[in-house]
Structure 1
Amino acid sequence: MSTNSIDRGETIRRFILENVEAYPSSIAKQTTDKFGITRQAVSKHVILLLSSGILEGQGMTQSRHYWLKVLNEKSITLSLKNQLDEQVVWQKEIAPRLSNLPSRVINIWHDGFTNILNNAIVHSGGQKVAITLKQTAVTTEIGIVDDGEGIFNQIKNAHKLDNEKQAMLALSKGKLTTNTKNQAGKGISFAVKKFDDFVIASGETFFAPKHPKDWNPEPLRPQKNGTLVLMKLYNKTVLTSKEVF
């Protein structure tokens, strides 16, 4: 088999993996249209990905759909009342799970994770924080949820704004934080640039700059009070932390 054939096969399989979340039931058609190959040819690539354990599927023929298999998963809940240190949490709980990633990607995760967790520790006023990590062959996703007052409500009250939407808009521009003397919240604007997906959900307000306006955020809504921050990054991103800053 020629090198060109191998490279083309890898390109096709990479396309399938990177687009299957957007087209779970039509990824075969998307791949056929993209590369001008037959459905039978696409099927061979899909079967290879299924057999390698990084793609999963369900259903028969026309109704069949696919998704990326979660290869690495962790969920922990920590108290915010025991002098929690974001660097310790990173070193003990998160960094070991990301050791398979390129160093430039790990650096972005370190900056984003520790910044967001520090915000929860210092500003949320909550009792606990839940952290989830899910990694597929394509992306890594980390969610941080606290049970505090809620970031947008805190900013609204601290800066005497009319509503939480105004607080969200100000925070997204790096203008305000929950602490009138501390501008650490400017890290939010950097996080938006760093990550391939970045969402903040609190109360009735959502900040999701990389989603279309008709996106439904309901599954992410925190129960009762609190703030959820969701970050997702491609495992082989070409962006570096230094380039962001």
Structure 2
Amino acid sequence: MRFSPIREFILNNLTAHQKDIVKTVIRKFGLSRQAVLRHMYVLIQGGKVTAHGKTKDRYYTLKPIVQKTVTITITPELEEDTIGRKHLFPHLSGFSSNIREICEYGFMEIVNNVLSHSAGDECTLKLKITDRNVHLYVHDNGVGIFRKIKKHFDLENQHHAILELSKGRLTTNPKTHLGDGIFSIIHLFDTVQINSGGLCWKYDSSKGHQVVKSGSTKGGTSVLMNVSTSSHNTLQNVFNKYSTDSNNSLFDRAEVPVSLARFDSENLMSRSQARRLFRNLEKFYEVCIDFKGIKLIGDSFADEIFRVFQNQHPNLKIECINANVHIENLVSGVRNNGSNYSS
């Protein structure tokens, strides 16, 4: 199959546009529908793409090179690296070292969580490899990750459990775990989706965090991890980004998505919301507050973080990213003239 920039675009964007890839290509290149469909036909005949459904409801997917599903009975003797060598690692041999590293790390961290924390008795593993992506899926029938964290840390709801997980350094068993596994995975893969207890926590490296109701309240936890085979990310990149040189320790820099502090569509106005956002962050050396998706915060919310909490922890470095002009001015005012903004 000869190289075509149009077909290359289709392959690179098909996963995100399964139902509207034809319209997406038309908008991008200004081609007619028939011209795009000819490119789709070439990809289908070349074994790169599969078409599903009839003309009206047709959608397309990348054709799997590897597609495997395994169900395992959880026993005390099971070890995550043994499971990986048997079911995953051999299929990664043809990929670059960083892709193997990302997939092996993500797989073993999630399976270790299942074996150590889920209290389930069965685990389902799925591997799907296409021309452009590696998809890993792990499901257990245990207590559910968000429920367990909510109960262990006496949180108000499972949504707050997701906020705590996003900060890193969170574990229900600090004697045997560091608590950085989920945090590392979130920032290694292109997209990660965790479903548990009726909530779905989605992270997209280009779009940020999102929590939605999944509609399913059945027990257990499902984790879906996707990485492009052209990704240049590495575990060392993640270590470097979220670690400082202050005390030679890993993950002493937190990046906190403010959007996860919101419950449903509520606005962030109160001191209690701010305290929830900064819960347990005193254990870090630097904290980066990400205001992506936040248009407005209240003065009490800002004052609690940038004056009260900062005064309580003067050695903690707090910075902001993705803040609009309103938030920047409010934060600047609190920092420079705290007494004028406190309430």
Q: Which amino acid aligns with 2:130?
A: T
1:206 and 1:57 map into 2 onto residues whose CA distance is: 28
Shift of 1:180: 4.6
- Match of residue 33 from structure 1: 27
- For the pair shown, the structure with the greater C-alpha radius of gyration is 2
Q: Deviations over 1:15-61 (max 9, x none)?
A: 11222233334322321321234444433322211111121124566
- The DSSP-based 3-state class of the residue aligned with 1:168 is helix
**Please, which of 173, 181, 192 is the counterpart of residue 179 of structure 1?**
173
Q: Does 1:23 align with 2:50?
A: no
Shift of 1:72: 1.0
Tell me which protein shows more helix as a share of its residues. Answer: 1
Shift of 1:233: 0.8
Q: Does 1:227 align with 2:221?
A: yes
**Please, which of 47, 51, 55 is the counterpart of residue 53 of structure 1?**
47
Aligned residues: 235
Contact residue 151 and residue 178 of structure 1 kept, 8 A:
no
Q: Deviations over 1:72-106 (max 9, x none)?
A: 11111122214111111111110112223222101
- Match of residue 146 from structure 1: 140
Q: Which amino acid aligns with 2:29?
A: F
- Match of residue 95 from structure 1: 89
TM-score (norm 1): 0.85
Q: Does 1:130 align with 2:130?
A: no
Residues 161/106 of structure 1: CA separation in 2 closer, same or farther (3 Å cut) = same
- The DSSP-based 3-state class of the residue aligned with 1:74 is strand
1:35 and 1:51 map into 2 onto residues whose CA distance is: 22
Residues 182/156 of structure 1: CA separation in 2 closer, same or farther (3 Å cut) = farther
Deviates more, 1:125-134 or 1:13-22: 13-22
Residues 24/161 of structure 1: CA separation in 2 closer, same or farther (3 Å cut) = closer
Q: Does 1:203 align with 2:197?
A: yes
Contact residue 81 and residue 108 of structure 2 kept, 8 A:
yes
RMSD: 2.4
Shift of 1:175: 4.2
- Match of residue 85 from structure 1: 79
Contact residue 158 and residue 179 of structure 1 kept, 8 A:
no
Contact residue 52 and residue 58 of structure 2 kept, 8 A:
yes
Q: Does 1:70 align with 2:70?
A: no
- Match of residue 111 from structure 1: 105
1:171 and 1:51 map into 2 onto residues whose CA distance is: 44
1:58 and 1:227 map into 2 onto residues whose CA distance is: 29
- Match of residue 3 from structure 1: none
Deviates more, 1:110-119 or 1:61-70: 61-70
Q: Does 1:43 align with 2:28?
A: no
Structure 2 gap segments, 5+ residues each: 240-343
Structure 1 gap segments, 5+ residues each: 1-5
Q: Which has the higher contact order (CA 8 A, sep 6+)?
A: 1
Residues 234/38 of structure 1: CA separation in 2 closer, same or farther (3 Å cut) = same
